[in-house]
Amino acid sequence: MIAHTHSIQNRLFKSLALLIVCSLLLAPLALPTRAAGAAAPAQSYIVQAGSAAQAAQLVQSAGGTVTSSLDIVHGVAALLTPQAAARLQGLATLTPNATVDMVGSGGDNGDHDDREEGGFERVSPATDYSDGVGADYVWQEGGVTGKNVSVAILDTGLGRHRGVYRDLRGRLGRVVAWKDFISNRRAPFDPNGHGTHIAGIIANTQVGADQEWNGVAPGVDLVAVRVLDENGQGTYETVIRGLQWVMERKDQYNIRILNLSLVSPAQSAYWADPLNQAVTRAWAEGITVVAAAGNGGPGPMSIGVPGNNPYVITVGAFTDNYTPGDWNDDYITPFSAAGPTLDGFVKPDLVAPGAHMVSTMLPHTVVARTHQANRVANQYFEMAGTSQSAAVVSGVSALVLAAHPELSPNQVKFRLLVTAFPWIDPTTTEALYSMWQQGTGRVNAPDAVFAEIEGEANPGMDVWADVDGVSHYEGYSYYDDDAGAFRLRGGYDAWAGGYGTWSGGYGTWSGGYGTWSGGYGTWSGGYGTWSGGYGTWSGGYGTWSGGYGTWSGGYGTWSGGYGTWSGGYGTWSGGYGTWSGSEPWAGSIYSEAGFVEHYLSGRPIDSTTTTTSITEWVEE
C-alpha cells in the first residue's frame, strides 16, 4: 500500500450544496429557478483556507460577504457571486452551501408560544425501548441514571415538555444551555417536534404506565442546540456552527455526549467533508458522538454523513416486532442504512430500537399536526427511524459515562461494541445479518455499564493527525468482483457464519427462528444476564458471545483503520474501468466515472451534475 498525506485545506474541492436533513421527516424539495436574463444571485459557500481569518480575508478581497466564522474547519461561511467564487478558485476550498426555499408548514410560521409547559397528563404511556436494551436493569441494580453527564442534542429545538424539562425530582434546571442558530430565539422551542422526540428518548423523567422512567438516561442534563428549521432542514453552515458552539462550551456544561440524529448524502471521502471534519474534531476534543446511520436502507453503501465518519458511534435500527418481551422475532428494519462506507469502513457500529418509538412531542408542532395518526397520548407521539435509534445509544452512552466518567470516547465506543448481542441462527450459529447491516449487534446496556472491560475502539487511527490533515484512513471492507460480495481485507473474510461476507441483499432473517446471542427474553425474565460472559465478544478474542461458533478474527483489529488513505483501497475494488455493471451500486451516483475520479483524488463531484436526495418520513 502506498501511504499518502493530505492537507485538508488544500485538497478539498467540495461541490454539492449538501442539505442536512433530519433522518425521518422530509419530502423532496426543489431549488428556486431564476428568470431568463436575470443576474446570477450570490450563493452561500463554506470557504476554507489555512485559518478562518485567512479565509475571511480572501472572501473580502474577492468581493464576498462573510456570514459566519467556522474556526473548527479553518473557514467561514460566505455569500459569493459567481465572479467572486471564480476569483477564489485555487486560493481557497469552496463548498457550496446553497439556500433552499422550504416547503410551507400549513400556515404555522413557527412563532407559537412555548412558554407554557406541557406534559402534565395524569398517566404517561409506557415505553419499551429502555427495557429492550436493559437500561431499567442499570437503574435498578446499579442506581445509574446518567447523573452528572450532559448530552448535547443538535436538532430542531426543544419543546417545553415536562418530561424533558424537569429532573428526576420534578425541578426545573436540567436544560443547562440553549442556542438557536435558525431564528436566534432566546428561549428553547421546537416548531418541528423531532428534537423534542429525540430528547425524550434520551432523557424523559416521566414515569409510564409500567411504573418505570420513559427515557433511557433520565438523570442526564440537556444542552439543546437548534440547527434545523421547522421543516427539519438545515445546512452545513448551521450544523458546523452548532458543533463549534458545543465544543467551545463542553467544559462549562460538562458536555460528554453529542447526539446527531441528522443525515446528508455522502459525496466524498469522510476526511474531505467539512461537516465530518467538525465531527472528527469533536471526537478528538473528548466528546462521544453518536450519529444516525440514516434511513436509506436496506441496500449497501447507504450510510450518510456524519454516520460515515469512522470515529463516531453509528447506529442502525431494529424492531421488536411489537413483542418487546420476545426477542426471537426481532429484525433489522428495511429502512436502516447499511455499510460499508465509501472509505471501506464497517458501519453501522451497532443497532438499537428504532421502530414505533413513543416519546415526547407537543401537539402544535409540524410533525404532530401532519402525522396525527401517530399520536398515542396528548403529548406523546410514535415515530420510527435511525434518529430514534441514535437517541437510545446516546442514552446508554450516558449511563456508561455516569458509571465510568474517566472513559474517553474510544473507550466508550469499545464498551458498547464488545458487549453487543449479534443476531444469529441458534441452530447453525450463522449470522443472519452481515456486519455491514448489524455492526456488532444489539446494544446491551447492562454489560456496557457493569462488565470489566478494557480496550479502545478505532485502533491504528490517530484522530489528531486526521484533524490536522496529516493522515487519513480507510477501512477493511472491499467488494470482491469475482465473488460478487463485500469482504474484509487482512484474512478476516473467512469468518464463520457469513458475518464477514455480504452480497448486498436485505438479509436472511427467517421470520422468527433467529435470536440475539446471549439474550433469549426480557432482562427481568431470568433468561438474560449482564454478568459479562454473555453478549460480549470475549474482549475481542474472536469467539461468538454465548458460545455460538468461533471466528478466525477478532473485533479489535478490523474495527479500526486498515491503513492510510490512498484512494485505491476503498469500497470499489478494481477501479471504475473493470466494473461489470452488476455491482450493488450500479445505477447510482457512485457508479458515475466523474464521481469515482473526484473521490479518488480526494474531492467530490461537481455540483452541476447531481442533486441532493431527501430522506422521507418512515412509516413502520
Catalytic residues: 155, 194, 387
As a whole number of angstroms, the distance between CA 223 and CA 169 comes to: 19
Peptide bond into 348 cis (omega under 30): yes
Contacts of 388 (CB under 8 A, 6+ apart): 24, 197, 198, 201, 261, 317, 353, 354, 357, 359
CB atoms within 10 A of CB 374: 18
Cβ atoms 363, 327 nearer than 8 A: no
Helices 194-203 and 386-403: angle between axes, nearest 10 degrees: 40
Which residues partner with 44 through β-bridges?
Answer: 79
Q: How many CA atoms lie within 13 A of 239 on its CB side?
A: 32
Residue 345: closest CA among 313, 317, 318: 313
- Strand 288-292 and strand 255-260: the pairing is parallel
As a whole number of angstroms, the distance between CA 543 and CA 553 comes to: 8
| Signed CA dihedral, 352, 412, 146, 516: sign only | positive
List the alpha helices (DSSP H) in 319-377.
366-370
Contacts of 576 (CB under 8 A, 6+ apart): 593, 596, 597
As a whole number of angstroms, the distance between CA 482 and CA 344 comes to: 18
Cβ atoms 600, 474 nearer than 8 A: no
Residue 46: closest CA among 79, 95, 8, 88: 95
Q: How many CA atoms lie within 13 A of 209 on its CB side?
A: 9
Instruction: Find the angle CA(517)-CA(531)-CA(419) to the nearest 5 degrees.
Output: 50
Cβ atoms 423, 431 nearer than 8 A: yes
Contacts of 207 (CB under 8 A, 6+ apart): 124, 213, 214
In the block, cell 442499570 appears at 138
In the block, cell 442536512 appears at 20
Question: H or E segment at 199?
Answer: helix 194-203
As a whole number of angstroms, the distance between CA 614 and CA 616 comes to: 6
- Strand 221-226 and strand 75-80: the pairing is unpaired
Question: H or E segment at 43?
Answer: strand 43-48
